């Protein structure tokens, strides 16, 4: 799980300006920049690789240069060429964006319940004190979450503070990190009574288009559907049918299949869709949190300690 050499060599092809700033804090580590395309120099070799979640065109060659551990500067690995890995360890900055993404989810849930921005006025209304449309409340509503990682956990924590009931479905039978969150065994148990459904799971071959017609048919009419994970988790034709058929009353999406979307895509104009361009992670310290995970893991590596955020290559996340 760690380097036994007196000197560790880190190859990096992403975030170079930040990686190089680590040098003063790691005097026993050499940081060497490499290209993302084309052949490597004959002497380019290292124990560790820092790269993007997309990998690089020359990744196959890079991995032959002694690499034992790869860290992806991102929170997901569904676009990383996992098939190229042999016995290397892969880690990612899992959970680094949990806080801002959970706030994005709560903001959209509240906006829907409180009729925002429609309730804002810019001129004198016909009547004060009586709204044209009564606001809803999160209190007492049931939030169903698919996946129970860091993002889902932080979202659940905030939803519980608003008096919501939270249930979750996850791949493993690990207990919930929050005692108030009930973990169920299947989507059949999760969906029918939910007022709000959130996709917060990893994209794998098993979860691709998880939200299909059968998924939405299990939901009760009027559900608020949110996706902050990957667009490919959703069969968008099925989502459109669920919206038009009044099963889904609102779809709040921060991601869509095939990003960036073409200008004529229907998600831009559907009256029940609220779409943001994959920015739920945004906050002042977002990138610093991602890089901090690598710095913490590098300290573990040079000190012979177990790494954090290790990807289960069989599961795909």
CA dist 18 and 31 (Å) reads 11
Q: Which of 108, 230, 250, 289 is catalytic?
A: 230
**Residue holding tokens 């299990």?**
218
* 171: annotated active-site residue: no
Which whole number is the average pLDDT over 186-208?
97
CA dist 163 and 52 (Å) reads 39
Which whole number is the average pLDDT over 250-267?
97
pLDDT at 193 over 80: yes
For 123-180, how does the pLDDT look when each residue is reduced to its tens digit (9 = 90+)? 999 999 999 999 999 999 999 999 999 999 999 999 999 999 999 999 888 899 999 9
For 74-84, how does the pLDDT look when each residue is reduced to its tens digit (9 = 90+)? 989 999 999 99
pLDDT cut 90: percent of the chain above it: 91
Which helix (H) or strand (E) segment holds residue 92: the answer is strand 89-92
pLDDT at 68 over 90: yes
* 278: annotated active-site residue: yes
pTM over 0.85: yes
Q: Answer for the pair 220, 245: CB distance below 8 angstroms, yes or no.
A: no
CA dist 317 and 27 (Å) reads 32
For 209-222, how does the pLDDT look when each residue is reduced to its tens digit (9 = 90+)? 999 999 999 999 99
Q: Please report the domains of the chain, with CATH numbers, ordered by start residue.
A: 8-95+285-302 (3.40.50.720), 98-275 (3.40.50.720)
Q: Identify the DSSP state of 231.
A: G
Nearest to 97 by CA among 298, 280, 295: 280
Q: Is the dihedral of CA 302, 306, 308, 310 positive or negative?
A: positive
Cis peptide before 117, with omega less than 30 degrees from 0?
yes
Give me the pLDDT at residue 1, please: 47
Mean residue pLDDT of the chain comes to 95
Strands 273-275 and 248-253: parallel
pLDDT at 2 over 70: no
Q: Answer for the pair 142, 194: CB distance below 8 angstroms, yes or no.
A: yes
3-state secondary structure 11-49: EECCCHHHHHCCHHHCCCEEEEECCCCCCCCCCCCCCEE
Nearest to 91 by CA among 105, 109, 110, 75: 75
* 230: annotated active-site residue: yes
Tokens of 77: 């690995």
Cβ of 83: how many Cβ atoms within 10 Å?
7
For 269-284, how does the pLDDT look when each residue is reduced to its tens digit (9 = 90+)? 999 999 999 999 999 9
Give me the pLDDT at residue 61, please: 97
Tokens of 37: 């395309």
Which whole number is the average pLDDT over 183-205?
97
Q: Answer for the pair 251, 225: CB distance below 8 angstroms, yes or no.
A: yes
pLDDT tier at 22 (50, 70, 90 boundaries)? Answer: confident
Q: Answer for the pair 106, 159: CB distance below 8 angstroms, yes or no.
A: yes
CA dist 194 and 166 (Å) reads 9
Considering only 22-26, 182-186, 231-235, which range has the smallest mean pLDDT?
Answer: 22-26
Q: Identify the DSSP state of 268.
A: G
Give me the pLDDT at residue 168, please: 98
Q: Which of 65, 278, 283, 295 is catalytic?
A: 278
Q: Would you mind telling me the total number of residues written for the chain in this entry?
A: 317
Q: Answer for the pair 203, 231: CB distance below 8 angstroms, yes or no.
A: no
Tokens of 201: 């799971």
Cα end-to-end span (Å), the chain: 18
Tokens of 190: 């999760």
Give me the pLDDT at residue 7, please: 85
CA dist 4 and 18 (Å) reads 25
Q: Which of 20, 21, 180, 259 is catalytic?
A: 259
CA dist 30 and 32 (Å) reads 6
Which whole number is the average pLDDT over 283-304?
94
């Amino acid at each position: 799980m760690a380097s036994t050499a007196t000197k560790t060599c880190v190859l990096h092809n992403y975030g170079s300006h930040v990686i190089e700033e680590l040098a003063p804090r790691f005097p026993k580590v050499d940081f060497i920049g490499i290209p993302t395309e084309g052949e490597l120099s004959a002497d380019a070799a290292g124990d560790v690789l820092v790269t993007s979640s997309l990998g690089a065109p020359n990744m196959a060659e890079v991995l032959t240069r002694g690499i034992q551990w790869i860290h992806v500067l991102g929170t997901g690995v569904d676009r990383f060429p996992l098939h190229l890995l042999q016995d290397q360890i892969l880690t990612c900055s899992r959970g680094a964006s949990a806080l801002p993404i959970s706030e994005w989810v709560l903001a959209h849930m509240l906006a829907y319940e409180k009729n925002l921005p429609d309730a804002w006025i810019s001129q004198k209304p016909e009547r004060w004190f009586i709204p044209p449309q009564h606001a809803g409340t999160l209190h007492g509503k049931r939030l169903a979450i698919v996946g129970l990682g860091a993002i889902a956990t932080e979202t659940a924590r905030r939803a519980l503070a608003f008096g919501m009931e939270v249930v979750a479905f996850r791949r493993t039978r690990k207990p919930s990190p929050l005692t108030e969150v009930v973990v169920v065994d299947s989507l059949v148990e999760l969906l029918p009574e939910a007022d709000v459904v959130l996709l917060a799971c990893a994209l794998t071959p098993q979860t691709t288009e998880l939200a299909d017609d059968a998924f939405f048919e299990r939901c009760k009419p009027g559900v608020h559907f949110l996706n902050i994970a990957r667009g490919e988790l959703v069969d968008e034709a099925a989502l459109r049918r669920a919206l038009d058929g009044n099963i889904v009353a609102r779809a709040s999406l921060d991601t869509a299949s095939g990003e960036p979307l073409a200008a004529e895509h229907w998600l831009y104009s559907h009256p029940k869709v609220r779409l943001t361009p994959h920015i739920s992670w945004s906050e002042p310290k977002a990138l610093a949190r991602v890089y901090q995970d690598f710095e913490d893991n590098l300290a573990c590596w040079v000190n012979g300690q177990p790494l954090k955020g290790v990807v289960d290559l069989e599961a795909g996340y």
